Amino acid sequence: MKFSALELEQACALVYGQMSATAQYVWPLLSEIVGCETWVKHENHTPTGAFKVRGGITFVDWVQRTRPDVTGLVTATRGNHGQAQSRAASRAGLSANIFVPKGNSKEKNLAMKAFGANLVEFGEDFDEARLEAARQAKINDWLIVPAFHTELVRGVATYAFELLSGAPHLDTIYIPIGCGSGICGTILARDALGLKTKIVGVVSEHAMTAKLSVDQGELVETNSAKTFADGMAVRVPVQAAFDIYRQGADRIICVSEHEIAEAMRIYFRSIHQVSEGAGAAALAGLMQEREKMAGKAVAVILSGGNIDTKDFNCVLGGSFPKV
């Protein structure tokens, strides 16, 4: 997979038909805490509160152009991908059939329904929900929206295209990894712009499939992915994403639940931003490597702010939600 700058500019034009470019700021107090010039890319400020909305716009545009026979989409999600697809499908007059695991975030579920989703709870984790979504696609003749697809990644890459166009001097960008569209979009945007910015992927210590796969040079599934940072709760890596971040990422690091929760508190105290667990993972990774990054220009992707109220109260109280 590869994009030219023109292809990303065209994706931006599609995205900007439905939303504005998101803010990217250097926050002085946050920079003081971290010890380097710290840029925050505010993907928590999109119409769905997460970066996935961009891929929803470009994917559904592609469906309308290439598959006019399609009347319904189906996908599995922990919430942000589902909101993006529900929003985009509903706007296009398509049904959005969204499968989530049992016990999924109540507030993300409500948001997906508000965007028009036909929501089904199935299975104990994302990957079980994904298999059921695929089964139902065959029964109902729905088009499967995978977690990773060229048109999804092209849309997602627009946030990195914005960031790097405005701050080409960045030394390093930290990005959370779930199925991989965010980190891959950033790698591809960097390459399209001809920059040398280093990309660091961040995974949870309880959802290490991406790191284990890179470390071993082949896909490694894990038995569970029980992290409160549900956007990173993936057991089964995606081959197409692995092929990109294995080559294009400088490194992948692992953060603990404690580090993620502390990063969420730092965001709230220093810049008064609400972040979900996966949304704060990039900052947790930077905090872990703050000595290595001292004095450099660094960016973190605040990839989403969709956390249930009770869970955020738990984090602000000094703990983190148990799963």
Task: Say whether pLDDT at 126 is over 90.
Answer: no
Q: Are residues 45 and 63 both part of a single domain? A: no
Give residue 253's pLDDT: 98
**What are the distances in angstroms from CA 84 to CA 21, 93, 209?**
16, 14, 24
Provide the CATH number for the domain around residue 130.
Answer: 3.40.50.1100
* Pairing of the two strands 95-100 and 72-76: parallel
CB-count burial class (<10 Å; 0-12, 13-18, 19+) for 69: exposed
Give residue 25's pLDDT: 98
Give residue 286's pLDDT: 98
Give residue 127's pLDDT: 86
Do 277 and 230 contact (CB within 8 A), yes or no? yes
Q: Are residues 140 and 174 both part of a single domain? A: no
Q: Are residues 15 and 74 both part of a single domain? A: no
C-alpha to C-alpha distance for 300 and 176, rounded to whole angstroms: 9
Q: Are residues 200 and 291 both part of a single domain? A: yes
- Taking residues 120-144, report their average pLDDT: 94
**Average pLDDT, rounded, for the chain:** 96
The tokens describing 203, both together, are 């995974």
pLDDT in tens, 212-232: 999 999 999 999 889 999 999
Percentage of the chain exceeding pLDDT 90? 97
Q: Please state the φ and ψ torsions of residue 127, each to the nearest 5 degrees.
A: -70, -30
In total, how many domains does the chain have?
2
pLDDT in tens, 71-87: 999 999 988 999 999 99
Give residue 150's pLDDT: 97
Q: Which H/E stretch holds residue 17?
A: none
Do 278 and 302 contact (CB within 8 A), yes or no? no
Q: Are residues 104 and 195 both part of a single domain? A: no
> pTM of the predicted model, to two decimals?
0.95
3-state secondary structure of 243: helix
pLDDT in tens, 235-265: 999 999 999 999 999 999 999 999 999 999 9
- Taking residues 74-102, report their average pLDDT: 95
C-alpha to C-alpha distance for 73 and 59, rounded to whole angstroms: 11
Residue 57 lies in domain: 52-144
At position 6, the amino acid (one-letter code) is L
